[in-house]
């Protein structure tokens, strides 16, 4: 499957952050030319509409610049005793044929290829990233001039679409709004995007788009950079999760003087805890939380378990980041506490684990010294399934 880097979309990363990010639009013609085969295609959209469980909240139809009520393209179906809304493909096609634009929101929640597309953006910006797909019929007027509250990277996948983008204003309120062509004047970019082109539109930047003589399919990767207020809220949330802040006080009535004293104490405690935060490690933690939002992170547990099952005797193994508490020995076996589980392993295995905490990787066949290769391999596999060991070098067999 195609893997994209952030540079694939924006060109030189340093130039992008110095000159364009948050400042002005960027057009990168041919950025992904010839590398679109894994992205959603027109044919895949037919498959999506045919899904019996297509979530109606993800699909939107707009016509003449206005949203079409979902009741115009959904039907009610019985699921057991309950009733549910389902997408009616025929009605969606009819609306499209008569000039409607079909939008799939948060397609990265549904399609692995678009989830993969969010990864370089989630990594570069450490913030929530969503992919919205727009499919517009030939000759459609598309969207009238407006601005969005998020930064958008447009990727043209099928057909062509003509864009006008105006300058990014100095002061931006951070919400959505519409404009008239008269008030906007001359655009700074006017271009017909062809498959593989990428266009960056900073939040608050007016833009308009229209399809040409063929159906247009483009993806908008929307990134919502976290503002200071969002980041600081996360820091305070992490602090007040401590049980010192669990109380449920009454702040009025007869208890007021006591409550005020208690509040003053909690505010002082919060100040002390905030003062003790190490900015460097908190910045790393906040970057991490920004990258693992829903829709972007991909758990690889099945892959990991499958790799543990097929671990080769010559494969290198090392300690993972999973915390392990090594307990006391009863003379033959040592207790381990891992992910809430307690298990007992031969003392030599516990010693091997201790050695791996700071030592180099070893092969699975020699991890458990003094026993047969097969038994050592079994022990390494067991600990790899638990996540305590990980493969250090997949090339060794």
- Tell me which residues touch Fe ion (CB under 5 A): 148
Within the chain, where are the H helices?
A: 6-10, 13-15, 42-50, 89-97, 112-125, 181-184, 228-240, 256-275, 279-291, 301-309, 347-358, 373-386
Radius of gyration of the chain (CA): 28
CB 392 within 8 A of CB 317: yes
Query: Between residues 25 and 316, which has the closer beta carbon with respect to Fe ion?
Result: 25
Here the tokens at position 312 are 């080769």
248: how many CB neighbours lie within 10 A of its CB? 4
Distance CA(146)–CA(205), nearest Å, equals 8
CB 108 within 8 A of CB 115: yes
Query: Between residues 130 and 148, which has the closer beta carbon with respect to Fe ion?
Result: 148
Query: Between residues 181 and 322, which has the closer beta carbon with respect to Fe ion?
Result: 181
- Which distant-in-sequence residues (6+ apart) come within 8 Å of 17 by Cβ? none
Question: Up-side HSE of residue 171: CA atoms within 13 Å toward CB?
Answer: 0
Smallest distance, Å, CB 103 to Fe ion? 11
Query: Between residues 119 and 148, which has the closer beta carbon with respect to Fe ion?
Result: 148
Closest residue by beta carbon to Fe ion: 148
Query: Between residues 134 and 367, which has the closer beta carbon with respect to Fe ion?
Result: 134
Residue 188's alpha-carbon distances to 163, 180, 194, in angstroms, are: 11, 16, 19
Smallest distance, Å, CB 69 to Fe ion? 21
Smallest distance, Å, CB 207 to Fe ion? 6
Query: Between residues 187 and 316, which has the closer beta carbon with respect to Fe ion?
Result: 187
Smallest distance, Å, CB 203 to Fe ion? 10
Smallest distance, Å, CB 225 to Fe ion? 17
Smallest distance, Å, CB 149 to Fe ion? 10
Distance CA(154)–CA(200), nearest Å, equals 6
389: how many CB neighbours lie within 10 A of its CB? 29
- Which distant-in-sequence residues (6+ apart) come within 8 Å of 22 by Cβ? 151, 168, 202, 225
Query: Between residues 148 and 390, which has the closer beta carbon with respect to Fe ion?
Result: 148
Smallest distance, Å, CB 287 to Fe ion? 27
């Amino acid at each position: 499957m195609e893997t994209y880097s952030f540079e694939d979309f924006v060109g030189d990363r340093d130039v992008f952050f110095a000159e364009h990010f948050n400042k002005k639009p960027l057009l990168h013609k041919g950025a992904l030319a010839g590398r679109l085969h894994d992205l959603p295609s027109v044919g895949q959209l037919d498959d999506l509409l045919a899904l019996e469980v297509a979530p109606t909240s993800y699909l939107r139809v707009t016509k003449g610049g206005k949203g079409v009520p979902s009741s115009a393209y959904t039907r009610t179906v019985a699921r057991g005793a309950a009733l549910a809304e389902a997408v009616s493909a025929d009605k969606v096609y009819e609306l499209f044929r008569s000039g409607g634009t079909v939008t799939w929101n948060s397609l990265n929640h549904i399609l692995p290829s678009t989830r993969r597309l969010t990864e370089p953006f989630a990594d570069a910006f450490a913030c929530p990233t969503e992919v919205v797909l727009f499919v517009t019929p030939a000759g459609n007027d598309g969207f009238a001039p407006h601005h969005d509250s998020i930064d958008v990277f447009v990727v043209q996948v099928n057909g062509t679409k003509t864009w006008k983008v105006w300058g990014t204003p100095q002061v931006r309120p951070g919400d959505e709004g519409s404009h008239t062509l008269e008030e906007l004047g001359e655009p700074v970019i006017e271009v017909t995007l062809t498959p593989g082109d990428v266009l960056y539109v900073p939040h608050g930047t007016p833009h308009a788009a229209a399809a040409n003589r063929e159906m247009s399919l483009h993806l908008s990767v929307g990134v919502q950079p976290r503002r200071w207020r969002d980041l600081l809220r996360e820091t305070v949330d992490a602090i007040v999760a401590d049980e010192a802040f669990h109380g449920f006080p009454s702040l009025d009535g007869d208890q007021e003087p006591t409550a005020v004293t208690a509040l003053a104490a909690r505010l002082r405690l919060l100040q002390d805890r905030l003062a003790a935060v190490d900015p460097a490690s908190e910045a790393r933690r906040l970057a991490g939380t920004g990258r693992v939002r829903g829709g972007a992170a991909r758990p690889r547990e099945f892959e990991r378990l499958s790799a543990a099952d097929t671990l080769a005797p010559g494969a290198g193994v090392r300690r993972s980041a999973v915390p392990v508490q090594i307990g006391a020995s009863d003379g033959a076996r040592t207790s381990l506490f891992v992910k809430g589980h307690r298990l007992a392993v031969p003392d030599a295995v516990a010693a091997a684990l201790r050695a791996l905490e700071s030592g180099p990787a070893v092969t699975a066949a020699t991890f458990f010294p003094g026993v047969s290769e097969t038994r050592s391999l079994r022990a390494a596999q067991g600990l790899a399934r638990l996540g305590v060991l990980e493969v250090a070098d997949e090339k060794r067999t």
